Amino acid sequence: MKEDIIYEIGGTKRPQNSFLQRLLLFVNRIPIIRNNKMVKNIFCQIFNFPISTTFSSSFYCSSPNVFMGENVGLNDTYILAYAPVYIGNNCSFSFRNMIITSSHSFDDFSTVVASPVRIGNNVWITSNVTILPGVNIGDNTVVGAGSVVTKDIPSGVFAAGNPCKVVKKINFRK
């Protein structure tokens, strides 16, 4: 069952960051400020991230539509969240990753169609991975570098490629 959200011109406005959220994303790029514990606490509070969340100066989120568990490392992940993004506990995103929840309708390019993205617990998204709208990634999964995730990935596997496919089952030990 898809939970698509439709944004048409003159219809529902696409979600966006508040002025304060945009300001925090900007100051996050300034090393002397971003390393301040109080600034990180405010950032996490304003974006509704657990305080255990880590992110680099290149992290960007297009709207406050991200829901995540504890101990998530986002590094320089870019999240376009017109639909909700759910990230489980103990997930790690290496470098240059994107989570995109929307695309344009093929019938009318001025219409945006958004679908939620769900990422389970104990997932490692390696480098340069793109996760497209409506994708679910199961628990205890690793997605290989350079992958484009276009369809659901089950739990307990290593998946890679463009399009991303299961390469092998893995025995995840924590």
pLDDT, tens digit (0-9, with 9 covering 90-100), for 13-28:
888 899 999 999 999 9
pLDDT at 26: 93
> How many CB atoms neighbour CB 126 within 10 A?
19
Of 97, 90, 96, the closest CA to residue 73 belongs to 90
| Residue 36: both structure tokens together | 């301040």
pLDDT at 174: 60
Phi and psi at residue 45, in whole multiples of 5°?
A: -65, -45
Mean pLDDT of 36-46: 91
Which residues carry out catalysis? Answer: 104
Q: Evaluate if residue 116 carries a pLDDT over 90.
A: yes
Q: Percent of the chain at pLDDT above 90?
A: 73
Higher model confidence: residue 64 or residue 84?
A: 84
Higher model confidence: residue 15 or residue 141?
A: 141
Domains and CATH numbers, the chain: 15-169 (2.160.10.10)
